[in-house]
Chains A and B, each alone.
Chain A
């Protein structure tokens, strides 16, 4: 970091100082803007390189943490997926003549965003419950959470609409028209413009797709803040379960609020993430000196 970022900042300061001494105010401002962008780029590259080092040269402690996190992630994700599928399966009409495994397969993409969010929450709290947080571990956890969020966005944007539609057609046994949850993001945007009567409901679906994709990243951040603030070995599972349950309840409450109140839809859709991020910021602020 010292060899990558410091020279970029030092060159920026010197370049800016030169421009100021020449009296070229606008040139100085341009130098500052271009230089800051370059520093951001260097910082990003440095973070990627650091992450590469974490992956390639982990210490024994880090290895143990990553394995523990992976096991917790897999267990929590699988359990959450099974709960969601079982909950949907109870509504299944038993007279439908189609293989049950196909129904489960088509349900899977829709359950993933929440089960992965649960997985990362349990992974962070379980793996780090007795560990001292280092920049490398926090960076690795956040990078994995970011990857999960990107993967979940791909899932909700392109995979879920198709699998939902396939599920509905399998149930009906014939082609059926697509509903709100079976439309792609571009189709939703088009329908919002075309259907003023359903604008609010469609906009809520649209914004919730984006919001739910960010859940793994937001919940990981909250989990890391929780670990720093207060995490005891015995209460870890309770804490992780509590976070997930609260997040899901906020999600349901946000859906109701989006439909039945006149609050701005983007704020309502993002409210579970906003509340979690605010809580994480508050906890980080309380523990800033520890």
Chain B
């Protein structure tokens, strides 16, 4: 789900992922999932420079890695292969 969204939009914030997930992702857990995916090398992240007129922490942007894209493609292919079998 996260990889699908990131591949579709290229880069996103955690909150954008939640907003675009049609309630499938939760605000309280998405950052932990993103952290784990980053540890596994599926995605990468960078902090965005905060706007100069505003205080607060810089936001973190997430994007898929080449490995993440390959994993998502493999997963999609496996799902496409298995789904007719399950449907029978």
**Chain A interface residues toward B at CB < 8 A:** 3-11, 13-15, 17, 34-35, 37-38, 40-42, 45-46, 49
A11 touching B13, Cβ below 8 Å: yes
B5-26 CB contacts (< 8 Å) to partner A: 13-15, 26
A42 touching B57, Cβ below 8 Å: no
How far does the Cβ of A141 sit from chain B's closest Cβ, in whole Å? 24
A11 touching B14, Cβ below 8 Å: yes
Please give me the 9 A-B residue pairs with the lowest Cβ-Cβ distance, nearest first: A41-B28, A38-B27, A7-B60, A13-B56, A10-B57, A11-B15, A10-B59, A38-B28, A45-B32
A42 touching B56, Cβ below 8 Å: no
Considering the complex, give the chain B residue whose CB is closest to the CB of A44.
Answer: B28
Considering the complex, give the chain A residue whose CB is closest to the CB of B50.
Answer: A10
B38 touching A8, Cβ below 8 Å: no
How far does the Cβ of B62 sit from chain A's closest Cβ, in whole Å? 9
B41 at the interface (CB under 8 A from A): no
B32 touching A49, Cβ below 8 Å: yes
Measured between beta carbons, the chain A residues less than 8 angstroms from B38 are 3
**With contacts A3-B45, A7-B14 known, is A42 near B60, CB below 8 A?**
no
Considering the complex, give the chain B residue whose CB is closest to the CB of A34.
Answer: B27
B31 at the interface (CB under 8 A from A): yes
Measured between beta carbons, the chain B residues less than 8 angstroms from A11 are 13-15, 59
How far does the Cβ of B49 sit from chain A's closest Cβ, in whole Å? 12
User: How far, in whole Å, are A15 and B45 apart by their CA atoms in the complex?
Assistant: 19
What 19 additional pairs, Cβ within 8 angstroms, besides A14-B56, A49-B32? A3-B38, A3-B45, A4-B31, A6-B60, A7-B14, A7-B31, A7-B34, A8-B14, A9-B56, A10-B58, A13-B57, A14-B13, A14-B15, A15-B15, A17-B56, A37-B28, A40-B28, A42-B29, A45-B28
User: What are 28 A-to-B residue pairs whose CB atoms are below 8 Å?
Assistant: A3-B35, A3-B38, A4-B31, A5-B31, A6-B60, A7-B13, A7-B14, A7-B34, A8-B27, A9-B57, A10-B56, A11-B59, A13-B56, A13-B57, A14-B13, A14-B59, A17-B54, A17-B56, A35-B27, A38-B26, A38-B27, A41-B28, A41-B29, A42-B28, A42-B29, A42-B31, A45-B28, A45-B32
Interface hub of B56, B57, B58 (most chain A Cβ within 10 A): B57
Interface hub of B35, B56, B59 (most chain A Cβ within 10 A): B35
Measured between beta carbons, the chain B residues less than 8 angstroms from A13 are 56-57
Interface size on B, residues (CB 8 A): 19
User: How far, in whole Å, are A11 and B18 apart by their CA atoms in the complex?
Assistant: 11
**With contacts A34-B27, A38-B28 known, is A4 near B59, CB below 8 A?**
no
Measured between beta carbons, the chain A residues less than 8 angstroms from B15 are 11, 14-15
Measured between beta carbons, the chain B residues less than 8 angstroms from A17 are 54, 56
Measured between beta carbons, the chain A residues less than 8 angstroms from B59 are 7, 10-11, 14
How far does the Cβ of A184 sit from chain B's closest Cβ, in whole Å? 34
User: How far, in whole Å, are A34 and B28 apart by their CA atoms in the complex?
Assistant: 10
B60 touching A10, Cβ below 8 Å: yes
User: How far, in whole Å, are A220 and B29 apart by their CA atoms in the complex?
Assistant: 30
Considering the complex, give the chain A residue whose CB is closest to the CB of B32.
Answer: A45
B54 touching A45, Cβ below 8 Å: no
Measured between beta carbons, the chain B residues less than 8 angstroms from A41 are 27-29
User: How far, in whole Å, are A13 and B54 apart by their CA atoms in the complex?
Assistant: 10
User: How far, in whole Å, are A45 and B13 apart by their CA atoms in the complex?
Assistant: 19
User: How far, in whole Å, are A13 and B38 apart by their CA atoms in the complex?
Assistant: 23
Considering the complex, give the chain B residue whose CB is closest to the CB of A37.
Answer: B28
